[in-house]
Every structure is written in C-alpha cells, then in structure tokens.
Structure 1
Amino acid sequence: MTDAPHHRPRFTETVGLIAGREISTRLRSKAFVISTLVLMAAVLVSVVLGSVFGSNDDPARVAVVGEASAAAAEAPGLEPVVADDLAAAERMLRAGDVEAIVADEASDPLGITVIGLDSPPNQVVGALSVRPSVELLERAAADPLLAYFVAFGFGIVFFFAALTFGQTIAQSVVEEKQTRIVEILIATVSPRQLLTGKILGNSALALGQVVAIAALAILGLALTGQRVLLGGLGASVVWFVVFFAFGFVMLSALFAATAATVSRLEDVGTVTTPVTMLVMIPYFLVIFFNDNPTVLAVMSYVPFSAPVGMPVRIFLEQAAWWEPLLSLAILLATTAVAVLAGERIYRHSLLRTGARVPFAEALRGR
C-alpha cells in the first residue's frame, strides 16, 4: 500500500495564507485600530468644520429681473435689488454690487434661473426653496484656499498610509530575520511567496484604509450639503485611490527589500531612509507648490509623486483626459521594475545575518 502523494500548496494558496496572516495580525493591533479611528475622525471633523466656516448668514444681495423678483422676495436670506433688464443686472454682477442674478427663464421648469459670475452662487441657490438652473458668465480657477486643503488632504493621506504600512513591512521583515523565524518559513515557502504575501496583505489594509477615508469624506460632504465641492472632488478621489493602490505596491516592495539587507531592528530606520524620502518629498512638494502648475505637472509623471500630483491636477482641471492614463502606465511600469528588483534583493539577503548586505551585492546575488 503506497502513501497518497503529498499535495504541495499552489503559489496563490500560499500567498493567500501569508497575506491573511499579515491582515489578521494588524487588525488585532490596538495601535492600528486606534490610529485608523483617529485619522477617520480627523477627516470627518475637517469636513464638518469646512461646512461651518463655509456657511454665510448675511443676506445675499441679488439682482432680480422681471417676475423672478417675487421668488427672490419670498426666499429667506436674500436681499433683492430690482434691475431694469438682464443687461443692467449683468453690469451690477460684474461690478460686484450683487452676488448673483435671479431672472425669468421660460425653458426652466421652475420659471427662473440663477446666474453667477465665475462660480456657482451656492448661498443664493440654497436660499431658494427650489433648485433652479445655474449659469456662469465666466469660469474661475479653483479657490486657492480650497485647492490648498485638497492638496493637503491628498498629501497627508498618502504620507500617513504609505509610511505607516511601509514601516510595518520593514519591521516585520527584520523581526523575522532577528528571531530566525524566517529560516523556518523559508523551509516551507519560497522567498517570493513570502514577499508577495506581505506586500498584498499590507497593500490590502492600506488601500482599505484609504477607501474608508475617501468614503467617509464623500459621505460627510453629502450630509453637510457641500454638493458643489463633492461634484468637483469625486473624480480626483477615485483617481487617487487607483494611483495609491499601485504606488503603495511599489513602495512596499522597496521597504521590504531594503529592510532585508539588515538583521537588527535598530538599523531599519537608517536603511529605509531613501524609501522614506520618496514618501516625504511628494507631501512637502504638494504643500508648498500646490499653486504651481509646472511643479504639479512634473509630479504627476514621476512615479513616486504621481499618486499625489495627478489627483490634485485633476481636481484643478489642469490635466487633459489622457494624462492620468499615461501617468498610470508609467507608474505600472515602474512598479513592475521595483517589484522585480525588490524581490531579488529580498531573496538574496533574507538568510544573511550580521553586517548589512550592500544593495549592489544583493542584486547580483553574491
């Protein structure tokens, strides 16, 4: 009687087990749960404060034309100013005497329309009991303060998530080397499977955290009535999530590879400094140069800063429709190279203890 053949787990099965272990370990960490809740609370508070400080209780002066004056007079929060005709009302609007024009509009089901100068007159629209059609005489650039907060939001979420989970991967790699657990793991799984599982597990957690933050921010904007901001922010948030997903895979491979070259936790900070700088530089660039189209354009095509630079450009409507696709293609290619190089360094350094393994030596496999 012969023994049944031993079933060797497939690559995907092993990777799934390792990724599941990474996820469950992190979810059981109180520090991780608390930091996530604090970050989400901060996002919700910022959305609510934006709604509070963005509101205006002073009556809005509006130029009224024709029978639309009756609707404006009945609306609370509006101060109607009668204009002889639409041309006169437009002169008042351009001169800054009024915030908007309320005029008759036969084609509108409500019979009126609201006309703004270069941005939607939200206070006027909100004061009316109905939602009339809104027109703009000119298209303005995004509000500088709003653009700054959007850039800051993308920058801080990318910085916090990438650095937190990247350092987690690095510390996990060195802990396994220092305690020699990796020697037991390598006896049953390959270094490629181990690295892939670590990257996928932490990437899933990081992406989940980013998606939760984005969903909370969108929900907060919707519940606080900031629908105009929500409409302009939606596309850029979606692109941010997509770019972050691939960008973090690239960074996590580099964090794991650099950490594998050392054997003590005390050396993790030093050896991962170059990767940490790749996370920090986009954050500082977008904070200080969010109003510089040239810097943002360069950032949107550099793989390490594209997850921040391109979404900001999309929000500011500075990017053509094809630019995010081209930037994403560059990021995908760079991620593939980073993963291959990182896997090679990781594989050739994992079982070597003692002195730090030089990167060039690890790449050559000596």
Structure 2
Amino acid sequence: MNTTTAARRAPSFTQSVVLVAEREITTRLRSKSFLITTGILLLLVLGGVIAGGIMSKNVSTTPVAVVSSVSSELSNVPGLELTVVDTRADAEALVTDGTVDAAVVPSEEGAAVPVTVIAESEAPSSLMQGLSLSPELILLDPSDTSYLLSYLAAFAFGIVFFASGMTFGPMIAQSVVEEKQTRIVEILMSAVPVSALMAGKVIGNSLLAFAQIVAIAVLAVVGLSVTGQAELLTVLSAPLLWFVGFFIIGFILLAALFAAVGAMVSRQEDLGTTMTPVTMLIMLPYFAIIFLHDNPVALTIMSYVPFSAPVGMPMRLFLGTAAWWEPLISLALLIVTAALAVLLGSRIYNNSLLKVGSRVSWSQAIKG
C-alpha cells in the first residue's frame, strides 16, 4: 500500500521539468547580479532611444532643391527648405556639391509618377513621406546608404544577443557545477529524472531570457513612439519581431550546450576552459556583426549559419536585402541545429553529471 501511494505521489516527467524550471526562475530572480545586469541592459536601451529622439528633434528643416515646374508638389510638405531652380541639371548639381539633401525633378515622359527624387546616398524621410505619391528614387552614391543607421542597428542586435547569452549561459553552467560540488545533484536525481533536470534548467532560463528580450522590445517600441520616432519604429518593427523569434531558438541551442559543459567539470575553477568553445559561439557573431555589418556577402553567410543567424538575418531584414522566404529557411536551419544541440547536450549531461574529480573530456562525455 505504501509503495502504491509513493508511486502515485512521484511527479511525472512534465511535473519534474516544471518544478526544476520554477526553481531556476526563482533562484535567478533572487540574484542581485542578475537583476542589476537586466536593469543596466534596459537602461542602455532606454538611453539609446532617448538619445535618438533628441537628435531627431534637433533637425529643423531639410534643404531640398526643386525644379520650378513641379514646385507645387511640395507646397504642402512641412519641414522643407526649398531652393527653386530651372532645370534638372541645376538641381542635381546642388545635390552633388552638398548644398541640398535632395532634389525633386520632373519624371521622364511616360513615368507612373510625376516627380523623381534625386539624393546622394539616402533620401530624406520627411520628403519621401510628404509627397502624395511614392516617387522614383535615384541615389547618386548608393554604396554609403545609411551607414550610421546600419551600424547602430548592428550594434543593437549584437549587444542584446551578446549580453543575454553571456548572462544566462554561464549561469546555467555554474549552477550545474555548484550542484555537483555540493552533492545536491544526487538528491535531485533521487526525485526527478536526469533528463527532466536538464530540461527544467534549459526551459527555466530560456523563459527568463525570453522575458528579458520581450521587455527590451516593448521598451524600445514604447520609447520610439513616445519620442516621435515613428518612422524608425516602422522600419525596425518587423526585424525586431524576427529577432525575438530567432533569439528564442538560438538561446535554447546555447543553453543546452552550457548545461552540458557544466556537467563535464566538478570544480568552478575548471569551468572557464571547458566553457570557452560555447562562449565563442556568442562572441564571434557579436564581433562579426559589428565589423561586417556593411559587407553583403558576409551578412548573407551569417544569416544562414545557425550560431550567427539570430543577429545576421534580422540585420539583413532591417537593411531590406533579404527576400521574404530567406528568414523562413534560416529559421528552419536554426531549429534543426537547436534540436541536434539539445540531443547532444542531453547525452553529455547524462554521461557526465555523476562523474566527479578530473574534468570529463569531450570524447568521454559523448561516448559515455
């Protein structure tokens, strides 16, 4: 009778995962270092949004040249300082020498719209939005388009991925090592299966990372709306949503590997060396997106490599260089890789968790 009662009270696999995940979440929320790191990250995002809003409001008017025959097209567009010229050549010359930011000229005969906008490297947003019809756009130097804006976007995607990965990943590994050192893991394994123990750690920390990313996204959206940066919000909204999706899958991949390497050592002192290969999977995409954000070939490669796709593909979507089907293929590759990483991490975790003493080698951890 007692055996039957104990069997009934034994938690199922799902219940075990939930219990471990709740324990991980509760432990993290009680950690001052985690709360401080999250607060700093949110403040950096808020500061960046506010700084962008201040800089955008400092721009009073946009100098624009317009051919006299189409000057009526700009009569109701606010925020423009107009210079009326007689010919298209005169207008283009003013753009080339930097006197104006753009020129509005009559379109070629038979064109679908009456006017064409000519700009050096980027068309002023106030001008493009103010025209009643979307005009044809000619860039005289398209190679330098939005360099600063693309750099800031690359830095934002990179730093969020880097900060979250370097916050939660080592925490997972350190938690596993601490449980091995204190022999708590033996008590836990008597109550829940080993696979449930790892799954709970990965899911609990992934939920926290997801909540952190959602908080950052919401803060950025609200901040951009309040500070009057609706145009940037429109451009950033879709890439930001894709970034959240890519980040969730990418973090599960990393979390499984961090849990595995944590199980391979018995002392905190040995963790740094063992954790280095996984840490590089976070650092390399961060530095690559910063230094190669204006390299189309490098960005394309990064957007399909699973470990860099969470920053590479959203960046390409922001720049408008990715076709609609590309993020779907990239996400599918990331999901398959994450599933393989979870299987590999689970095998290493199961084979290494009860081994104490010297560090378990990768071959021993995989072979068992």
Asked whether the equivalents of residues 254 and 338 of structure 1 are also in contact (C-alpha less than 8 Å), the reply is yes
Q: CA deviation at 1:163?
A: 1.3
Instruction: Report which stretch shifted further, 214-223 or 290-299.
Output: 214-223
Q: Given the superposition, is the C-alpha separation of residues 246 and 60 from structure 1 closer, same or farther in structure 2, using an over 3 Å criterion?
A: same
Asked whether the equivalents of residues 60 and 123 of structure 1 are also in contact (C-alpha less than 8 Å), the reply is no
Residue 326 (structure 1) aligns with = 329
Q: Which residue of 6, 11, 14 corresponds with 2:13? A: 11
Measured in 1, the distance between the counterparts of 2:187 and 2:2 equals 29
State the Cα deviation string for residues 320-339 of structure 1 (Å, max 9, x = none). Answer: 22211111111111111111
Measured in 1, the distance between the counterparts of 2:104 and 2:258 equals 58
SS for the counterpart of 1:343 is helix
The within-5 A match list for 1:57-136 is 57=60, 60-63=63-66, 65=70, 67=72, 71=76, 77-83=79-85, 91=92, 97-100=99-102, 117=119, 119-124=122-127, 132-136=132-136
Q: CA deviation at 1:57?
A: 2.9
State the Cα deviation string for residues 125-161 of structure 1 (Å, max 9, x = none). Answer: 79x8xx8555342365740111111111111110110
Asked whether the equivalents of residues 113 and 132 of structure 1 are also in contact (C-alpha less than 8 Å), the reply is no
Residue 110 (structure 2) aligns with = none
The within-5 A match list for 1:203-242 is 203-242=206-245
Q: CA deviation at 1:44?
A: 1.0
SS for the counterpart of 2:135 is strand
State the Cα deviation string for residues 165-210 of structure 1 (Å, max 9, x = none). Answer: 0000000000000000000000011110000000000001011111
Measured in 2, the distance between the counterparts of 1:210 and 1:352 equals 35
Q: CA deviation at 1:29?
A: 1.6
SS for the counterpart of 1:300 is helix
SS for the counterpart of 2:83 is strand
1:183 aligns with 2:186: yes
Measured in 1, the distance between the counterparts of 2:223 and 2:64 equals 29
State the Cα deviation string for residues 273-294 of structure 1 (Å, max 9, x = none). Answer: 1100111011111111111111
Residue 263 (structure 1) aligns with = 266
Measured in 2, the distance between the counterparts of 1:209 and 1:316 equals 25
1:163 aligns with 2:166: yes
Q: Given the superposition, is the C-alpha separation of residues 217 and 136 from structure 1 closer, same or farther in structure 2, using an over 3 Å criterion?
A: farther
Instruction: Report which stretch shifted further, 259-268 or 196-205.
Output: 259-268
Q: Given the superposition, is the C-alpha separation of residues 69 and 41 from structure 1 closer, same or farther in structure 2, using an over 3 Å criterion?
A: closer
Q: Given the superposition, is the C-alpha separation of residues 298 and 70 from structure 1 closer, same or farther in structure 2, using an over 3 Å criterion?
A: closer
State the Cα deviation string for residues 99-134 of structure 1 (Å, max 9, x = none). Answer: 456899xxxxxxx999564745335579x8xx8555
Measured in 2, the distance between the counterparts of 1:204 and 1:2 equals 37
State the Cα deviation string for residues 1-36 of structure 1 (Å, max 9, x = none). Answer: 888643232211110111111111111222211211
Percent same amino acid among aligned pairs? 50
Asked whether the equivalents of residues 13 and 193 of structure 2 are also in contact (C-alpha less than 8 Å), the reply is no
SS for the counterpart of 1:138 is strand
Measured in 2, the distance between the counterparts of 1:161 and 1:70 equals 49
Residue 33 (structure 2) aligns with = 31
Instruction: Report which stretch shifted further, 193-202 or 214-223.
Output: 214-223
Q: Which residue of 260, 284, 287 corresponds with 1:284? A: 287
1:302 aligns with 2:305: yes
Residue 108 (structure 1) aligns with = none
Q: Which residue of 37, 44, 47 corresponds with 2:46? A: 44
Q: Given the superposition, is the C-alpha separation of residues 132 and 116 from structure 1 closer, same or farther in structure 2, using an over 3 Å criterion?
A: farther
Measured in 1, the distance between the counterparts of 2:223 and 2:90 equals 36
Measured in 1, the distance between the counterparts of 2:274 and 2:224 equals 41
Asked whether the equivalents of residues 119 and 136 of structure 1 are also in contact (C-alpha less than 8 Å), the reply is no
Q: What are the ranges of 5 or more consecutive residues in structure 2 without an aligned counterpart?
A: 107-113
Measured in 2, the distance between the counterparts of 1:332 and 1:198 equals 19
RMSD over aligned CA atoms reads 2.8
Asked whether the equivalents of residues 313 and 319 of structure 1 are also in contact (C-alpha less than 8 Å), the reply is yes
Asked whether the equivalents of residues 161 and 206 of structure 1 are also in contact (C-alpha less than 8 Å), the reply is yes
SS for the counterpart of 1:52 is helix
Residue 272 (structure 1) aligns with = 275
Instruction: Report which stretch shifted further, 290-299 or 137-146.
Output: 137-146
Asked whether the equivalents of residues 64 and 102 of structure 2 are also in contact (C-alpha less than 8 Å), the reply is yes
Measured in 1, the distance between the counterparts of 2:62 and 2:323 equals 39
SS for the counterpart of 2:138 is coil
Q: What are the ranges of 5 or more consecutive residues in structure 1 without an aligned counterpart?
A: 105-111
Q: CA deviation at 1:81?
A: 3.0
